[in-house]
Structure 1
Amino acid sequence: MSYRLLSEVELGDFGAEQSVASRLRALLAQQVATWATCRTGFLGLEDVRRKELMVEGDPVWVQHNPLRICSVAADVSDHGINARPCFLCAQNLAPEQAGIMLKEELIALCNPRPIFSAHFTIVHVRHIPQSTGGLLPAFLDIARMVGSDFMVFFNGAKAGASAPDHMHFQAAPAEEFPLLEAIRDKHRLLRLRSDDFLEVAELMFYGCRYLVARGANRGGLCDVIEGFIAALDARQPGGGDLVNIMVRHGSGGWEVVLCGRSKHRPHCFFADEEDRLLVSPACVELAGVVVAPRREDYERINGQVLAQIFSEVTLSKSVFEEVVREL
């Protein structure tokens, strides 16, 4: 069974122009108009409770979003994956769900349980594991195609992907990520190396270390990402799956943000109920939007709690420095 793609006429009926960003927004408008589940999800964002906190001097938005419980609490063990149908495969999608082709074998779908005002899942047409292997050029190309209005991101199979069995990226409006302001501030970037084509720097955000690579050389950026993942993989089996990658493309080329992980979920995720916090960090959380599907967690979360969670699941100073030395 194949994915249903919207025709040019259908996209045009919802205001699509030539740009990919315009076509994505037309896709969203069409899906909200014709698919009740999608409509409920996006209209429901108006009622989502939000609060702003500060973590190590940086702002973070916490949202109480009950619709995200399936993703946040997803059983990503081999047993859990084998026990459910893949919700990204074409044969398991809702009949109303449709998408648009972005690149060969990569299709944009609306996320019916959104975090952002526009939230897309970019799925591979084949059921292959969540890995950037062979797909980094396409990843960067998609960021260029959608333009500076969008952030495109990838959660490693052990770093927040709720479907680690099916390759996918995501995209959402860049301005809705607090991380964007941090990477715009050149004074916050500790330059590690630079040449005419590429700049690599360290960013401290939420007290954690991120690697930022900038430039217009796609091949050079792919080398940095591959080197970072390889260095993680060399430290422990499956370490290459413990990575979050965020990409935005603007007038100066690409901005790539890499966050290496020490673990998938924090201790509090598995604690006894009275101490449990259902927070499962992925790109979204590490870029400044923390999703709390349960009200009790939303009310208990504060800046100190988040600082501890972020510190627990990201690389220590010594490991980060070891990884960077190998690039």
Structure 2
Amino acid sequence: KKGDPGAVNVGKKGPCFICLPNISIIQRGMRLFALGGLLNFVFLVQPFPILSAHVTLASARHTPQILSQQDVNFLLDATQRSAEFSYTYNSIGAGASIEEHLHFHVFRYRLPIEDIEVEVISESKGLKVGRLGLPWPILTLVFEGEKEKVNASLWSIVDEAQKRNKPFNILSTHNSQGKLKVYFIPRRRETPLSTFAHALGVVEMAGFILTEKTSEFSAVTEDKDI
């Protein structure tokens, strides 16, 4: 809490929720290192899990929710090494719950978006780029293939979006052949026009409707825009 002895990175809303000195030791899990230790992430027990085996993967450093090329490479590498798990990222303005500290969400659950057919835009050795077709209503780009090729293409669009301050979501998972399959969802609006009072992140944009109130659940119908 704000004012607690030893609290670090205290903002207007209190200490950062995922800075290691501010959380219980029992909430901390395994650390992951990359680039000879330059990147240092730690798994955190998720106090409010949404999906199966849901945990948070947070940077050990207090750094904003903005991706570097090394972070994108780390995300893909972690996905590649975790065959049963998916990794997600919500940018600032696209459902990020903690904007001041870089983090990903990790879980073992197949989201509805993964069952939508991909329309191929281009295909080369080691990389296939496509977009989701109908009936999926949300513009979604899909990158599949070898990590190096996916990394280069994904970073190119992430970098451009960040330079333009355009929010986006990422779902990093696997295709049926075990290769990387990454969904990139550009965003225009964080909070829906109606129905929901809270911001929507990658889970909702991938077809999993999360409601906080009974009234929200009751308001969701097939023919109502959200």
Instruction: Provide TM-score, normalisation by structure 1.
Output: 0.60
2:112 to 172, 178, 184: 178
Please report how far the alpha carbon of residue 229 of structure 1 lies from its aligned counterpart in structure 2 after TM superposition.
2.3
> Highest relative contact order (Cα 8 Å, sep 6+), 1 or 2?
1
- Residues 187-208 of structure 1: CA deviation (Å, up to 9, x unaligned): x222111111100001036311
2:210 to 283, 286, 291: 291
Partner residue, 2:37: none
Please report how far the alpha carbon of residue 95 of structure 1 lies from its aligned counterpart in structure 2 after TM superposition.
4.5
1: CA distance, partners of 2:196 / 2:73:
37
Partner residue, 1:103: 33
Please report how far the alpha carbon of residue 233 of structure 1 lies from its aligned counterpart in structure 2 after TM superposition.
4.3
2: CA distance, partners of 1:84 / 1:231:
32
2: CA distance, partners of 1:150 / 1:226:
21
Partner residue, 1:193: 122
Partner residue, 1:203: 132
Partner residue, 1:146: 82
1: CA distance, partners of 2:196 / 2:113:
23
**3-state secondary structure, aligned to 2:30:** strand
Please report how far the alpha carbon of residue 166 of structure 1 lies from its aligned counterpart in structure 2 after TM superposition.
0.4
For residue 116 of structure 1, what is the amino acid of its counterpart? Answer: L
2:101 to 162, 166, 173: 166
Q: Percent identity?
A: 24
Please report how far the alpha carbon of residue 84 of structure 1 lies from its aligned counterpart in structure 2 after TM superposition.
2.2
1:213 to 143, 155, 160: 143
Partner residue, 1:229: 158
Instruction: Provide TM-score, normalisation by structure 2.
Output: 0.85
2: CA distance, partners of 1:304 / 1:84:
41
2: CA distance, partners of 1:180 / 1:103:
29
For residue 260 of structure 1, what is the amino acid of its counterpart? Answer: P
Pick closer, same or farther for the CA change 1:249–1:189 going to 2, 3 Å.
closer
Gap runs ≥5 in structure 1? 1-80, 183-187, 269-275, 310-327
Count residues in correspondence: 209
1:245 to 167, 170, 186: 170
Q: Which has the higher helix share?
A: 1
**3-state secondary structure, aligned to 2:47:** coil
Gap runs ≥5 in structure 2? 1-10, 35-39
